[in-house]
Homo-oligomer: A and B are copies of this chain.
Amino acid sequence: MLGENSYGKSGIRLVKVSRREGRHDVRDVTVGVRFEGNFEAAHRAGDNSNILPTDTMKNTVYALASDHPLEEIESFGLQLAEHFLSSNTAISRVSIELSQRTWDRITVEGVPHPHAFSRGGAETATARVTQGRPGTRIESGLEGLRILKSAQSAFSGFRRDRYTTLQETDDRIFATAVTAWWLYRRPNIPFASLRDSVRRTLLETFARHQSASVQHTAHAMGEAVLARYPEVEEIRLSLPNKHHLPVDLSPFGLKNQNEIFVPTEEPYGLIEATVKRGP
């Protein structure tokens, strides 16, 4: 029996240069398209008559990008979802995944240059539009936001067993790479400005929180977003704990005054939480 199945195109890379006299704008977006629906005949019998090629998905992204301003990835995702769903009766759900890299204008003698840019950080803006019969779901997010605080982070009072060697601490480095996804309660949203606000709230809450654990801070970050932005239905946070281990300098006759650390990649704690509105 054929169970859940889907197909699509991932990693569709796209740069659009919008050219106005005296000012170019660059949008750098990666798009993924995924279809679910009635593809039983293709799987069982090799009958491809319901299969729109993934190559066509790619072509469609480029063709529709030609007319779309690409100022908000969410609205481009909506347009793609509507196009595919309305023109393919075999599909029951389409998902569009988008991620955007930023390019900052280079400043020349204090003046932003009209057509020269440098890449922003590793952080990407993300969006996902899922449209089915019935219903549309729009989520925005961000990935790769690396943050660190060097004070007001503790971890103590935790459960101990025979394998527990960790010391309690009231002053540790808290470093993480935030992945966040927030779901909207309705489709008509000023996506770009709300994104800026959510991001700023995440950062400010992180900076000011008196942290008792990663969970504690994750929850506070999610709660602050829900408290301030009624447009947001729920928010999911994934916070890998990028451990910073104090180096033991005592063999060299030195004291490490909580200053010298090794940042490690593996293993890492992984903390995930969803904060949503109560019933």
List, in ascending order, chain B residues with CB within 8 A of A277's CB. Answer: 1
Number of residues from A at the complex interface, CB < 8 A: 133
Out of B26, B49, B159, which one reaches A148, CB within 8 Å? B26
Q: Known: A24-B151, A249-B62, A256-B66. Is A261-B52 also a contact (CB below 8 A)?
A: no
List, in ascending order, chain B residues with CB within 8 A of A9's CB. Answer: 267-270
- Of A71-79, A130-138, A186-194, A240-248, the stretch lying at the interface with chain B is A240-248
- What copy number does this chain have within its complex? 4
Closest approach, in angstroms, between the C-beta of A219 and any C-beta of chain B? 4
Name A's B-contacting residues (CB within 8 A): 1-19, 24, 26, 28, 32, 34, 39, 42-56, 58-60, 62-63, 65-66, 87-88, 103, 106-109, 113-122, 145-152, 155-166, 173, 203-204, 206-208, 211-216, 218-219, 234, 236, 240-241, 244, 247, 249, 251-254, 256-279
Q: Known: A218-B43, A261-B15. Is A158-B270 also a contact (CB below 8 A)?
A: no
Q: Which residue of B lies closest to A177 (CB)?
A: B119
Closest approach, in angstroms, between the C-beta of A267 and any C-beta of chain B? 4
Q: Known: A49-B158, A66-B254, A268-B9. Is A3-B234 also a contact (CB below 8 A)?
A: yes
List, in ascending order, chain B residues with CB within 8 A of A5's CB. Answer: 215, 272-274
List, in ascending order, chain B residues with CB within 8 A of A270's CB. Answer: 7-10, 32, 34, 54
Q: Which residue of B lies closest to A30 (CB)?
A: B266
Can you list 10 contacts pairing A with B, beta carbon distance less than 8 Å? A2-B274, A6-B271, A7-B214, A43-B216, A48-B212, A59-B164, A116-B148, A119-B121, A119-B147, A162-B252
Q: B17 to A49, Cβ gap below 8 A?
A: no
List, in ascending order, chain B residues with CB within 8 A of A14's CB. Answer: 260-262
List, in ascending order, chain B residues with CB within 8 A of A18's CB. Answer: 259
Closest approach, in angstroms, between the C-beta of A204 and any C-beta of chain B? 5
Q: A17 to B150, Cβ gap below 8 A?
A: yes
Q: Which residue of B lies closest to A216 (CB)?
A: B46
Closest approach, in angstroms, between the C-beta of A118 and any C-beta of chain B? 5
Q: A244 to B122, Cβ gap below 8 A?
A: no
Q: B7 to A278, Cβ gap below 8 A?
A: no
Closest approach, in angstroms, between the C-beta of A256 and any C-beta of chain B? 7
With A15-B260, A54-B267 given, can you name 12 additional A-B contacts, CB distance below 8 Å? A3-B276, A9-B267, A14-B261, A51-B215, A53-B158, A54-B269, A54-B270, A55-B166, A56-B161, A87-B161, A119-B121, A120-B121
